[in-house]
Amino acid sequence: MTELEARPNPEAGNIWAGWILAHLFESWPLAVNFHPRQAVVETSVKIQNGDGWRAVDDLFQWLVSEGFVRYRQRTIDGECFGVELTEKALARLNLLPASINERKSLGQGLREAAADVGTGATKKALADMFGQFLGGITKSYLA
């Protein structure tokens, strides 16, 4: 396993969230079995301060609590079964600002970035796309 690259907590969280959403978007409409800690391993990113395993577990639970992800069952060690994106998440993932690419959805952009997560530029793109995802959410609450 490659050594994990330390990132500031919010940046690592954005990268992990981008990877999780991309992973689920790519498998949609099939529900998958999934452990949130896969995001840490697949992105090779850890947080600078704190427990990365707990942080990614908390992030996944936040995605669930906010209504973007759902699952049918979760084991005591965190493995989730029947994990899928919600309609709310799919609505956000199909919006990509024209300044990035008019022909691609945010979900497609996340999927492509997650496929090549090894580079620093790709990690930044994942984090930026998750920021756009959150920006759309914020706008919908303020509207």
Per residue in 75-127, pLDDT (tens digit) is 999 999 999 998 888 878 774 334 434 556 666 666 666 666 665 666 676 67
For the stretch 31-55, pLDDT in tens is 999 999 999 888 888 887 778 888 9
Q: Residue 59 is which amino acid?
A: L
Over range 26-30, report the average pLDDT: 86
H-type alpha helices, the chain:
9-27, 38-43, 52-65, 87-93, 106-115, 120-142
Q: What is the pLDDT of residue 1?
A: 41
The span from the CA of 33 to the CA of 82, in Å, is 6
Strands 5-7 and 45-47: parallel
| Domains in the chain: ranges and CATH | 5-127 (1.10.10)
Residue pair 69/85 in contact (Cβ under 8 Å)? The answer is yes
